[in-house]
Homo-oligomer: A and B are copies of this chain.
Amino acid sequence: MDNKLNKIILAQLNPISGNVEYNKNKAISAINKAIEKNAEMIIFPELFLLGYPIGDILTRYPYIAGQCERALEEIKEVSKNIAVLIGYPEKNTSKIGKPFFNSVMLIKNQKTEKIFRKALLANYSEHNDYRYFEPAKITKENRIFELGGTKYGVIICEDGWNDKDFFEKNLYEIDPVETVAPEVDVLLCPAASCSRAKKEQLKHNMMSFVSKKYKTKYIYVNQTGANDELVYDGTSRMYDENGKLIAMAKSFEEELFELNLNGENVINPLIKGLELTLNSQKEFSLDHEPDLERTYTAIKTAISDYFSKNGFKRAVLGLSGGLDSTVCAVLLADALGNKNVLGISMPSSLTSKESKSDAEQLASNLGINFMTVPIKDSVELLKNKYENIFSNVESHWDKRYKNSFTIDNIQARARSMILWSVANEFAGTLPIATSDKSELYMGYATINGDMSGGYAPIADVVKTKLFALARWMNKNRSNKNAIPESIILKPPTAELAIDSNTGKTLLAEDALMPYEFLDEVIWRIENLNQSINDMMKAEFLYEKKKNTDIETKRNWLNKFFKRLNTALYKWYIVPPSPVIDARSINKTEFKQPIISNIDYLR
């Protein structure tokens, strides 16, 4: 065996959270292929046998750790002539501490050679490691091994994120890299790092900085694919001793990436968006273009994995002829195949002719299944029936609204009932929730209506970005211009009510505020943690473009936070949706008590 090149396989794979059998089989198949390729070592992502995110699987079903132990035995069995580095939950047998360690086992000669335990446990955003794992102590010895004349040091994901020279602020006192790196030739980092807007550049800069600082190679192996709401972007890689990126696997794809530690390597290009600079985080921009390929790919991956891993294959959604359902339809068609998507136009008396024809045209362009089911009659019927109910209730209760949203909501709910019924009637079918992030922040979505579904593909994408995404898809999909231009050009409306000022359908921006302003408020909350006072002092992009008096601005901001307070319940019951932005309102990462009547103004 010629190991001069120290061939290493980075097993950039897509596990299912909690399905040890599935993940083990994937591991064994990868090891067999690595052996065929005569590799010296194969490295799996962090906690691979369990798959991230792990939720409370380990604490609720602790016997799953036993499943992992048995899986490791099977893996040792097949690991002939190859070193295997694989992540798993290790029971903590001590009387002190959390029940598990987040560990990586080094298998050599079909035996346990060494076990490395994670020290720094991420517990922010989507991360919950400290909930389950005991932080391990770091020594020079307990993170180092030798193979083929090379000295390796193992750092596990968050272990690598605490360099005191790189970060202005550090979350932890200790830095495992500081202890390990001076002793080794190569740092090995098994990770499970999900894709977020503008995270890649930080990651790249840090790894490059660390490998240069310590004059070591740096190998990073990341999970890929999506589980529920988190999409892992892969892009496993290596840096040389000068911090130069010299090898990179693909983005968002499974790959057994072949790495020659001392030879030539492949550098796959990053998907556009992954490379965004950190500077762009510091200022709001309406130019969403740089992040669109990543956004498209992440959502497509999320849909595809959510359906297949849950045993679904078909989606049904309402096609209103508006932007949200349109973008969802394109993403679904690309993720599931157009014949697995059914778009239903469900016009009410408020639906314009254009909406109907736009929806039909879109479906025809995409080649998805399409039908029209008018809801005018049933809404009319319910309206009358409900009027009787309300009159009766009025005999008991006061405070009936003069202008309620009841009829608006009945329309949205009647539509959703059709979608759920189709899903109930046909195997493997999920209805889709089409709510977007701007409107969820405002609670501008109907419970059991448009915000109801088995999955919500665009719940973490703001409206201005959806417009950009629609244009991007028209340009970059092989089937060009599938989205009719009129859908992108017309101002958004839910078509659920009449504007008493204009006598026409109420436009969303009139019910809320201009989306360009709204989306910047969201950005300022999520990226700068600003209060209303901070925002009053800041100049919005919208203000630069259009003269906005101070009273209007204050009214919009007050309206925003007032609506946000009442939208919290809707966030609580919104279906799962892929996390896309740097920060989001997805339940996976953000928790705010519903009763928190925060005084945002002070």
Q: Give A contacts to B, CB under 8 Å.
A: 16-22, 53-57, 59-64, 67, 70, 95-98, 123-124, 128, 130-131, 168-173, 227-228, 305-306, 309-310, 314, 339, 342, 344, 369, 371, 373, 378, 381-382, 385-386, 389-390, 392-393, 396-397, 399-401, 404-406, 409-410, 413-414, 416-418, 420-422, 424-429, 447-448, 452, 454, 525, 529, 531, 534, 569, 572-576, 587, 590-600, 602
B424 lies within 8 A of A420 (CB)? no
8 closest pairs, A vs B, by CB?
A: A18-B596, A399-B427, A17-B593, A369-B396, A406-B424, A55-B591, A448-B448, A309-B595
A61 cross-chain contacts in B, Cβ below 8 A: 529, 531, 598, 600
| Known contacts A131-B123, A168-B95, A426-B400: A20-B393 contact under CB 8 Å | no
- Most B-side CB within 10 Å, residue of A128, A382, A598: A598
26 contacts between A and B (CB under 8 A): A16-B595, A17-B593, A17-B595, A17-B596, A18-B593, A18-B598, A19-B596, A19-B599, A22-B597, A57-B596, A59-B124, A59-B529, A60-B525, A60-B529, A61-B598, A97-B173, A227-B593, A339-B396, A369-B396, A369-B397, A386-B421, A390-B422, A393-B422, A399-B426, A399-B428, A413-B417
Copies of this chain held together in the complex: 2
**Docked pose: A95 CA to B381 CA in angstroms:** 64
Q: How far is the CB of A359 from chain B (nearest CB, A)?
A: 16
Complex: A381 Cα to B384 Cα, angstroms: 14
Chain B nearest CB from A384 CB (Å) reads 11
Residues in B with CB closer than 8 Å to A418 are 386, 389
Closest B residue by C-beta to A368: B396
Chain B residues in 8 Å Cβ range of A56: 590-592
A389: nearest chain-B partner, CB-CB: B373
Q: Which of B95, B173, B426, B575 makes the CB contact (< 8 A) with A573?
A: B575
Select one of B171, B173, B382, B389 contacting A371, CB under 8 A: B389
Q: Is the CB of B592 within 8 A of A57?
A: yes
Q: Which residues of B contact A70 (CB under 8 A)?
A: 602
Whether the Cβ atoms of A171 and B98 lie closer than 8 Å is yes
A426 to chain B, nearest CB (A): 5
Please determine whether B55 and A396 come into contact, CB atoms closer than 8 angstroms.
no
**Contact A422 to B389, CB < 8 A, known contacts A306-B595, A309-B595:** yes
Q: Which residue of B lies closest to A124 (CB)?
A: B131
A425 in complex: contacting residue of B401, B424, B428, CB < 8 Å: B401
The smallest C-beta distance from A17 to any residue of chain B, in angstroms, reads 4
